Structure 1
Amino acid sequence: MAEYDPDRFDDVPDSLGRVGAHRAPRRRGRGWIAVAWALLASGVLVVAGLYSLSLVSDSVTFEIPGFSEPEPMPTPEPTPTMTPTAEPVVDPSEVELPSGFTITVLNATPFAGLAAEGGTELSEAGWPVGTTTNAAQDDFPDTVVFYSDPANEGLARGIAQQLRVADVELSDAFPGAPITVVLGSDYAARG
């Protein structure tokens, strides 16, 4: 152990119980106190981080057994089938289409060029086709004509009749166009 030169503080009586910090012997177990504080701080940070992550993302959940019971999965309600309420518009020249009205045609099959083929078929019949491109998925079995406004149901039914498909659906899944045709494998099989 290092030895220090004596100075005026060495003459302090022991009854005061004060010793210079640099000369005091280290107390036993002092290192474990620092480790315990570090572990406690790390634990608090990990728990706070996981809790924050569970608030941000729904895919992260923490269930503590005995404290909470998992909620039962909601039973999906069947979608009511809609009965046709509008007559199909077979000839687009019979009606006045809204300004800027266009149809989007998406190819949802692995067959290349199907969207352009469907778009050409609709254009030749007089329908204003805007965009023809591939869909994000390529595994749709059935062709569906989606319309976002109930007022366009007759137009959607006329387009479905033109393409010789039966599925027409009211949906807000395609906000880019009032009517979106998603071509499926049944359209490709027509040849």
Structure 2
Amino acid sequence: MSMLTPSGMGGKYRITGNAYPRMRRPRRRGRIVAGLVASVVVLGLFGWGALQLFHVFNGDDGGAKANAGPQSTPSCKPAPTPTRTAKLAPLPQPAGVTLNVFNATTRGGLAKSTADELAKRGFKVGTFGNAPTPYDKKVTQSALVVAGPAGEAAAREAGTQVAGSTVKIDPSRKGASVDLMIGDGFSVLATPADAAKARIVAANPPPPKPVCTVPTTAAAKPKG
């Protein structure tokens, strides 16, 4: 009896041929575990990226603020007190202002046409013509009103007639007359309505703004 013949069969059944049944290899659990770990890593990277985008769109620079060091705080000091001991003099009426009109631009005819219009508004026009050399072609704003200390109130009154003009007080100047230097930014005189509004502001000018400075700090040295 062959060794391949089951017992009790009396040799009736035999296994012949050279093909034998093979057992299936056991599945490798390591591949499944590696796949799960890779999935967790990918999901973690996606979550981290989404968190960074959230901080960027919400203006949160994260640790950058912590590493920026102490912030510089502006130091503000009151503006210097104007060099006058008395209150501002009340604005005079146009008839009480002697005004000289000068053209500091390259456009011709501005001094005469402006002087004529100011005379119609009640100002006393002393003279008109080209601007003196210190101001000729050097006035960039609409107008520069120049006067001495005695003509400070008259200068503010004259400045109401030109929007965007500035007043300059020359301590060495004598008398109360006023020079109106027409600048490159000039187009036309203010309308009577706008001049009236500007007169209210000129009669009660706002206080000077405080002067603010930002202290500089030395850059933090990297740790060795």
Q: TM-score, normalised by structure 1?
A: 0.45
Q: TM-score of the superposition, structure 2-length normalised? A: 0.39
